[in-house]
Amino acid sequence: MIAAGDVVLVINAGSSSIKFEVFEVPAAPPPIPRFAGQLEGIGASPRFTAKDAAGTRLAERHWDDGNAPANHRAGLGIIIDWLEGVLAGRRVAAIGHRVVHGGPDMAAPVMVDVAVMERLRELAPLAPLHQPHNLAGIAAAAERFPGVPQVACFDTAFHRSHAWEADTFALPPEFYARGIRRYGFHGLSYEYVARSLAESEPALAAGRVVVAHLGNGASLCAMRGGRSVDSTMGFTALDGVPMGTRCGQIDPGVLLHLLTTEGMDAAAVQKLLYGNAGLKGMSGISQDVRDLEASADPRAAQALSHFCWRVRREVGALAAALGGIDALVFTAGIGENAPAIRAAVCEELGFLGIALDPALNAANAPEISAPGAATRVLVHPTDEEGMIARHVLGLLQRSENA
């Protein structure tokens, strides 16, 4: 039985990194963040950092001796070894995992068992950059914490409220029945923003909100009453706006051309679209917006201009899906920290009642819309790990009370 003072470990395993956060189980919700960190550069130049809830750096380690963790299992071992020292014997009551794809059936967090793992492996081709590493994190955690409940929380789940019209492709119905449909992603981030807005701005949250989750992975979501109505990502996390290394929306005829005329095979096309496209591919420099903003290379400016143009286009499309817009919310690494990107996105959106206050935008203020603007523009932090911790506690408590 879970008890106050126990801890929940949240693991977010990416393609070359593992983020983690430890939450204390409180007497009453929400869970209390205690420690967080990440091991990045797995397989290349790993770097481990950790801090407490106040942001104080507790650990930092680089590997120059040839003993660096070479895979996610070894990386998680480094993290757990460090955690055992700072947890001082406190019980790990459960482990929550971010899993990118839950398919058409998994619309809520689930306890992980053999059948769930098998189903999630079947979905790996739909999220090849993420799903295998998410599952590797689960397997590694099960080895180090035998018998501890593990909970999978899905980035697709928040979007299961979409109408059929928003999720289907114009294909014969049997393809939809086989799961070829638009799923949407970044759902844990959107769910956190929706819940946070409902607590702080209930009237706004009840209205029509477009949230722009802009980071190395990027998408936008239209919400009405805190529920997802539409999203820019579709069948896979390739769709929508350009990203750090992913192409975003592309004419399917281009893919046919690459396969039939350019002589590329499926593996080469996948490598191009997932790893050598987006900001990195367009600029030839970097996938990091900070590097591109600092560069004098005209390709960097072109890549950023295209990115902002595509985000602006999707804001307008999602506003149409909602029948209007009451607020635009920027979140995630770029959305929260790149004033020039926000300004460029909003520059031509005056027809939607959007106008920015330059000083507030430059300061990354919580609200950056100009005085008197008809549509509010917010900068709102996201917290996927905090959302996962809430789900884990909720699912465990429901199981205990059943």
What digits encode the pLDDT tens for the residues 329-340? 999 999 999 999
Q: Report the chain's terminal Cα–Cα distance, integer Å.
A: 13
Helices (H), 54-100: 72-87
What is the rounded CA–CA span in Å between residue 371 and residue 387?
32
What's the DSSP call for residue 25? P
Average pLDDT of the chain to the nearest whole number:
94
pLDDT digits (tens, 9 = 90+) for 42-65: 877 789 999 999 999 999 998 876
CA angle 85, 87, 92 (to 5 degrees): 125
Instruction: Find where tokens 């905090």 sit.
Output: 386
Q: In the prediction, which pLDDT does 44 show?
A: 73
Q: In the prediction, which pLDDT does 65 show?
A: 65
The partner residues of 328 in beta bridges, in order of sequence, read 210, 377
Band of pLDDT at residue 389, cut at 50, 70 and 90: very high
pLDDT digits (tens, 9 = 90+) for 236-272: 999 999 999 999 999 999 999 999 999 999 999 999 9
What is the rounded CA–CA span in Å between residue 216 and residue 130?
13
Instruction: Find where tokens 């990195």 sit.
Output: 280
Mean pLDDT of 349-368: 98
Band of pLDDT at residue 10, cut at 50, 70 and 90: very high
Share of the chain above pLDDT 90, in %: 81
Share of the chain above pLDDT 70, in %: 100
Say which range, 339-343, 358-362, 398-402, has the weakest mean pLDDT. Answer: 398-402
Band of pLDDT at residue 68, cut at 50, 70 and 90: confident
Q: Does residue 66 have a pLDDT over 80?
A: no
Q: Does residue 80 have a pLDDT over 90?
A: no
155 flagged as catalytic = yes
* φ, ψ of residue 206 in degrees (nearest 5): -75, -10
Mean pLDDT of 267-287: 96
Instruction: Find where tokens 């799903």 sit.
Output: 131
Q: Is 125 helix (H, G, I), strand (E, B) or coil?
A: helix
More confident of the two residues 220 and 29: 220
Mean pLDDT of 388-402: 88
SS3 content of the chain, % helix, strand, coil (to 5): 40, 20, 35
* φ, ψ of residue 344 in degrees (nearest 5): -70, -40
Band of pLDDT at residue 77, cut at 50, 70 and 90: confident
Band of pLDDT at residue 126, cut at 50, 70 and 90: confident
Q: Which residues contact 240 (CB under 8 A, 6 or more apart)?
A: 218, 219, 220, 231, 232, 233, 234, 248, 249, 314
Given a contact cutoff of 8 angstroms between Cβ atoms, the answer to whether 174 and 182 are in contact is: no
Given a contact cutoff of 8 angstroms between Cβ atoms, the answer to whether 283 and 271 are in contact is: no
Q: Can you point out the beta strands (E) in 136-184?
A: 150-154
Q: In the prediction, which pLDDT does 2 show?
A: 82
Q: In the prediction, which pLDDT does 196 show?
A: 96
Walk me through the domains of the chain, giving residue ranges and CATH numbers: 7-154 (3.30.420.40), 202-379 (3.30.420.40)
Active-site entry in 155, 167, 239, 326: 155
Nearest to 109 by CA among 391, 379, 351, 317: 391
What is the rounded CA–CA span in Å between residue 291 and residue 289?
5
Element (H, E) at 47: strand 47-52
What is the rounded CA–CA span in Å between residue 6 and residue 51?
19
Mean pLDDT of 64-74: 78
**What angle do the packed helices 187-200 and 384-401 form, to 10 degrees?**
80
Q: In the prediction, which pLDDT does 67 show?
A: 78
User: What size, in residues, is the chain?
Assistant: 402
Q: In the prediction, which pLDDT does 64 show?
A: 75
